[in-house]
Amino acid sequence: MRGGSLPALQQIRGHATLAMTMRYSHPSPRVTCADEMEKTDAACQQLAAEIDRSRGRKLAQEIEGAAVLPL
pLDDT in tens, 9-21: 889 889 998 888 8
Encode pLDDT of 18-59 as tens digits: 888 888 776 666 556 666 677 777 777 888 888 888 888 887
Between vectors from CA 11 to CA 27 and to CA 4, what angle results, nearest 5°? 40
Closest by Cα among 31, 22, 29 to 3: 31
What's the CA gap between 38 and 3, in Å, rounded?
A: 12
pTM of the model: 0.36
